[in-house]
Structure 1
């Protein structure tokens, strides 16, 4: 009887060497540029004009309760749809990965609320806006490598880290050295997908300045700082490296309850949210906002009496589609505007009541 072979279950011995994962590094000598070659380096182009730029590292810092997540959600949704974010031009639609590091439970109502109030079909966000309901730890090489692959595979134009604190667990917040590691990790994700990485961060208790080490302040391309209270907010562009800085943008938070049509079977409390919109100054005419006045002016100066579509009003009023949609809702509620078309193909005209209340002026 032949004895069993003790080596039968072992893999066969081969002469093929083990494969090693090698990162190919371009020599510094090959990276040198002449002065003439500097002309080939183009400055980043806008992602959300005036706020975010393509293939950069950015941060938005604000104290707790300053509506920073509502602003980030609104920007992300607009970018994913390729629609202007209020007065900020969005040149093209980009896929967005939103890292909800503090949990994703409330994001559904916030996203659907923005869509509903702005007049967009939320189904358009499918395969454009992705939610990652867990943090990406910038101090963990496995997390960062997987995030690089994810952003590249999705084709992301924007990766939002909300919040930076939750994505840097284990790294000392006040240490420039350890936060420098986090910055390098964020830049790896940026370079892997050619995307913008946008970190949402907490500010100090009594300031809009980012909490912790100033390493991020110097390391980011765009440094946005936000203050907010009583449903009003202001975003200041503290720094863009190669674009105009110092501008301020005013926003207001509009309370909105998402319809049961979009959130069937969900209680009213869970459907309540806030939506960040531009805080246009009110004009003298019937306390209309600037956007509402522009839409009224476009209707009254229209070359046709047959009514204008929403698309035509966007072009004539030079206002974002979301702002036009909201303006039309207000003007219709006041009785200044009515739809003479159909539900599917709306055409709007000004009413006699509107002309009387506006002083008979276009």
Structure 2
């Protein structure tokens, strides 16, 4: 059956004023009827990416044949897109020679009832990320943006809860555009923390440029990625970072960034995925650096702020913009250290370590291996153990002294004597009871304490 024949039939149904559902128009065509009955999944996919206004029909067929209906996204197979470069440049698929641009636009017009067929937002991570959107996480360098993005990717790829929030399991494509070598350690730390393989996540360890190349002979990397996405069908695409995938683009120019937005939006329409960018903020400022054309197009935006230094830092992840839901969600995170190898290539005397971000209230010390230097005195060792295992957590005297013996090589009397010294010098303090304010048996590092 010719593609033009299908399109004409479907577009006719979208334009004509008829009583009842569009299925009255679709039905009656022998080729379409046969496809509907013998190949219902292909029929549903055809409706998804060939015409607007047919979600009612698609849902009906899915229900009749017991097919799970997973959203209303425009998906294209690589072989069905004639020219990816032109498609992404213009923001849509080239018009059919047999259908005018005006007729095509008219086929997309919806009345008030037609709006009801537009699907509701589908959570990718409940309360945080939705499918079929552009999202961005902003922050100064070394504030944990990539750690959050990698955690989101791992949780979506494996269907793992993210800090208690449900995830929609699916394929994730992660473009590592900078800091490639450190990602192996971060991945290992994630695997140890969650005690499972990071399945469902595909990494591309090189920058992929969103901008269409000026030379017609150059490879359009974004168009090539579109072909890949049409095959792997990701639900989350991470671009880490924005600046490294937009090389040569003036980020303060609304004109140039507007073209980038159009290509990002085209990828979103192609895949129905959440396209997530990691981006830098101006030093000491808030929001993403650069033109307003980008920030205005973003559906969901996050701000990452770090307070403190080293392993005792506290990171705040806040949802600062949300077009379709309530914004303002916030979570406090801290580092948790894991041994991820036999030895550190930069220091053969120390184990290789990396970190994950855990909730600030997570006091667990399980599997955390503190890095201790033999040349340190016992007091420095004890302080280092506490800073690495419980940078913001709560711990008992028995827990801390036990680790000092196990990892610091101290005898029990020495460990308890140094504990007393750390209390006296106010490096650590008792945690007050939430109601009475009286000291409890749990301790914490005193805010502002200097080791």
Decide: shared fold, TM above 0.5. yes
Is 2:202 aligned against 1:130? yes
Tell me, in whole angstroms, the C-alpha distance in 1 between the residues paired with 2:247 and 2:290. Answer: 13
- Paired residue secondary structure (2:180): coil
Tell me, in whole angstroms, the C-alpha distance in 1 between the residues paired with 2:399 and 2:163. Answer: 22
Is 2:317 aligned against 1:235? yes
Q: Which residue of 1 aligns with 2:421?
A: none
Tell me, in whole angstroms, the C-alpha distance in 2 between the residues paired with 1:155 and 1:53. Answer: 16
- Paired residue secondary structure (1:88): coil
Q: Quick one: structure 1 residues 204 and 57, their matched pair in 2 at CA, closer, same or farther if it must change by over 3 Å?
A: same
Tell me, in whole angstroms, the C-alpha distance in 1 between the residues paired with 2:204 and 2:249. Answer: 21
Task: State the 1:199 CA deviation.
Answer: 0.5
- Paired residue secondary structure (1:172): coil
Q: Which residue of 2 aligns with 1:158?
A: 236
- How many residue pairs get matched? 267
Gap runs ≥5 in structure 2: 1-81, 87-92, 96-100, 214-219, 367-394, 401-439, 442-451
Q: Which residue of 2 aligns with 1:170?
A: 248
Bigger RCO of structures 1 and 2 (CA < 8 A, at least 6 apart): 1
Tell me, in whole angstroms, the C-alpha distance in 2 between the residues paired with 1:62 and 1:153. Answer: 32
Task: State the 1:113 CA deviation.
Answer: 0.3
Task: State the 1:208 CA deviation.
Answer: 2.7
CA RMSD in angstroms comes to: 3.0
- Quick check: which one's helix share is greater? 2
Q: Which residue of 2 aligns with 1:302?
A: none
Q: Quick one: structure 1 residues 252 and 41, their matched pair in 2 at CA, closer, same or farther if it must change by over 3 Å?
A: same
Q: Quick one: structure 1 residues 24 and 105, their matched pair in 2 at CA, closer, same or farther if it must change by over 3 Å?
A: same
- Paired residue secondary structure (1:75): helix
Which residue of the other structure, out of 29, 33, 36, is the alignment partner of 2:113? 36
Which residue of the other structure, out of 110, 117, 127, is the alignment partner of 2:186? 110
Tell me, in whole angstroms, the C-alpha distance in 2 between the residues paired with 1:28 and 1:270. Answer: 61
Q: Which residue of 2 aligns with 1:99?
A: 175
Given that 2:159 and 2:170 are in contact with CA atoms closer than 8 Å, whether structure 1 keeps it comes out as: yes
Is 2:249 aligned against 1:249? no
Given that 1:148 and 1:188 are in contact with CA atoms closer than 8 Å, whether structure 2 keeps it comes out as: no
Tell me, in whole angstroms, the C-alpha distance in 2 between the residues paired with 1:185 and 1:73. Answer: 23
Tell me, in whole angstroms, the C-alpha distance in 1 between the residues paired with 2:144 and 2:114. Answer: 43
Task: State the 1:115 CA deviation.
Answer: 1.3
Gap runs ≥5 in structure 1: 1-19, 282-287, 293-329, 336-356
Given that 2:177 and 2:205 are in contact with CA atoms closer than 8 Å, whether structure 1 keeps it comes out as: yes
